Structure 1
Amino acid sequence: MKTAKTSSPEVCTTQEAAHILGISVSSVQQLVEAGIIEAWKTKGGHRRIPLTAVHAYKATPGSAGDAGEHGRSHVAQRAGNGRTAVLVIEDNQLQRELYAKALASWGLPLDLVYCENGYKALLEIARSKPDVVLADIVMEGMDGYEVVKTILNDPQLRDVSIAIASSLDKDEMAQRGGIPAGVVFFPKPINFDELRGYMRACCARREREAR
């Protein structure tokens, strides 16, 4: 991110960018820190983002802005169908395939979406607001912890059920801040019987809420 002394009228704040893109402020901050959206800081330490950069990102295929209407339609369609929307964040292709095979075999009313990194996951969360997020912890770039913290810090996502999966031991988990309150932890290799029980509970909760 650049540092500049002045800014032009064609800029916006992080909050304004979030409004334009239809995502949370924290998601915009993550995109800026990753260099995906250009920005700079004023002398006072406030982020300023060129409007051209915001609209360029919005027009990018697969971005939150590009899929905003689709996202709202998706939420509206599943609002009354009693199904549970699950977002799985996993960068290992083999592990994603294992999840897909297991989850599909249980006969549960699940709508599954898979993301291979944290950045794509944030965009998917912003546009579709899943009922359940199952996140790997160790990933390149934005790891699962950052995604989980973003969800926990967003009041609009307080109803999302969160589970994390990792091969890290207890000491390594503690170094990363431990397991956040209200978050379910599954050690790797995954015990799929335990995961099935968790997903059943999430489906039951979704069914109750849909009534």
Structure 2
Amino acid sequence: MKRIDAQPDEVCTTQRAAEMLNISVTSVQQLVEKGVIEAWKTKGGHRRIPVAAVLAYRAAQTHIEAAPPSERPSVLVVEDNAMQRLAYQRQFEAWQLPVELCFCENGYQALLQIARRKPDILLADIMMDGMDGYALVKTILADPELASTQVAMLSSVSQAELEARGGIPKGVVFFTKPVNFDELRGYIKACCAQSQRWNR
């Protein structure tokens, strides 16, 4: 998409914001829902976004992209299926997001990796041998030092199975498998922007 500029004192729609940022409308919606980009809704339910907020986000993304690898947001993917790990890796490579990507095969490996470096973003499968995704996520949520970690669970389990396990923990985002990679990309970009804002 062609990047479009505008005056900072204007407001715009999600479509125009997407064009200005050269990303999808879904990605803009993810950024708005996470509070990364300021917005409000009209009485008719349409989002309106200050152009100044869009420009500020674009400037933050430029800063992230210019950061050395050691300062880029880290993404830890916990997935026991090798083919699924490969799919995630290919998607991240295609997205060309300025992140440090790491993979673990189960919850135990993930905890060891987290002890070495706290991830900014955690993507965890639920059904895994040993420590599964639920146990891993609950362990992370219980640790105050990991409070800033953005957590998402990805699984094909049914709603009934989720409810039987206690539902989706508060503050955790859930993606149904097969994953909509456009939505996941929007989520990752929103998390990166939020992480950058916290680390300033």
* Correspondence list, 1:145-160, <5 A: 145-160=134-149
Structure 1 partner of 2:8: none
Runs of 4+ in 1 over 6 A off after TM superposition: none
Q: Between the two structures, name the one with larger relative contact order (CA 8 Å, sep ≥ 6).
A: 2
Structure 1 partner of 2:86: 97
Structure 2 partner of 1:189: 178
Q: TM-score scaled to structure 1, two decimals? A: 0.61
Structure 2 partner of 1:130: 119
Structure 2 partner of 1:33: none
Long gaps (5+) in structure 2: 1-66
AA paired with 1:204?
A
2:75–2:119 contact (8 Å) kept in structure 1: yes
* Correspondence list, 1:104-183, <5 A: 104-183=93-172
1:84–1:109 contact (8 Å) kept in structure 2: yes
CA distance in 1, matches of 2:90, 2:68: 25
Give the 3-state SS of the residue equivalent to 1:186 in structure 2. strand
Pairwise CA RMSD of aligned residues? 1.6
The Cα of 1:209 is off from its aligned counterpart by 2.4
Long gaps (5+) in structure 1: 1-77
Task: Mark the structure with the bigger radius of gyration.
Answer: 1
Say if 1:80 and 1:99 are closer, same or farther in 2 by CA, change over 3 A: closer
Q: Does 1:83 align with 2:83?
A: no
AA paired with 1:187?
T
The Cα of 1:177 is off from its aligned counterpart by 1.1
The Cα of 1:82 is off from its aligned counterpart by 4.6
Give the 3-state SS of the residue equivalent to 1:206 in structure 2. helix
Of all paired residues, the percent bearing the same amino acid is 57
Say if 1:122 and 1:186 are closer, same or farther in 2 by CA, change over 3 A: same
More moved, 191-200 vs 103-112: 103-112
The Cα of 1:79 is off from its aligned counterpart by 9.4
The Cα of 1:203 is off from its aligned counterpart by 1.1
Q: Does 1:205 align with 2:198?
A: no
CA distance in 1, matches of 2:199, 2:97: 16
The Cα of 1:207 is off from its aligned counterpart by 2.0
